[in-house]
Amino acid sequence: MRKEKQNYKRFSLTMPAELYEELEQMAEERGMDNRSMMIADLVKREVLKHRQQDWSRVMAGTLTISYDAAIDDCANKLIVLRRTFLDEVISTFQVMLEDGKNMEIWLVQGEVGKLYALLSKAMKCSKSLMGQITFADAILPPLRTNRTV
């Protein structure tokens, strides 16, 4: 399969010398070939954050939560929650950590507002819970359909 060549636009950018040096150092530390790649990466991250402000936009991402399993019945509460959000929770991965702690990573997709509601409900299941959601810059292809081919 041949990959199509991307269309690029060139523009000029002026910044303070100190910031320029920090950008150069950051690009080198991140293994970027040049400043343009670094700036494009930074802009892409900001565009992704901006898209998250549209709560009706469908996005994919990961929801990561960790909790102390000994404190309460959080694991079972999370199972019930995942069933409630069955259309949004695509897959889950659970790891048992040291000292009775658990970490769960959920692959999710849906409207941004609904995914934030899911995170909010998950955070209420335990006093010891920590969580966050990270969005991707693409969505999953359709996972289910009732169409006949």
* Predicted confidence band of residue 133 (pLDDT cuts 50, 70, 90): very high
What is the mean pLDDT of the segment spanning 71-87?
92
- The confidence score (pLDDT) of residue 86 equals 95
Which runs of E-coded beta strand occur in 3-149? 58-68, 89-96, 101-111, 130-135
Most confident of 21-25, 39-43, 99-103, 114-118: 114-118
CA pair distance 29, 23, nearest whole angstrom? 10
Number of H helices, E strands in the chain: 4, 4
8 Å CB contact between 59 and 114: no
* Predicted confidence band of residue 149 (pLDDT cuts 50, 70, 90): low
- The confidence score (pLDDT) of residue 5 equals 73
- What's the topology of domain 58-135? Alpha-Beta Plaits (3.30.70)
Tokens of 106: 């959920």
Task: Give me the residue label for tokens 């899911």.
Answer: 118
Q: Is 138 left (phi over 0), alpha (psi -120 to 50) or beta?
A: beta
79-82 contacts: CB < 8 A, separation 24 or more?
A: 81/118, 81/121, 81/122, 81/125, 82/106
Most confident of 44-48, 73-77, 112-116, 124-128: 112-116
CA pair distance 63, 109, nearest whole angstrom? 10
Burial of residue 127, with CB atoms counted within 10 A of its CB: 0-12 exposed, 13-18 middle, 19 or more buried: exposed
CA pair distance 101, 108, nearest whole angstrom? 22
Q: How far apart are the first and last CA of the chain?
A: 25
Q: What is the pLDDT of residues 110-119, one digit of tens each?
A: 999 999 999 9
- The confidence score (pLDDT) of residue 91 equals 96
Predicted TM-score (pTM) of this structure: 0.78
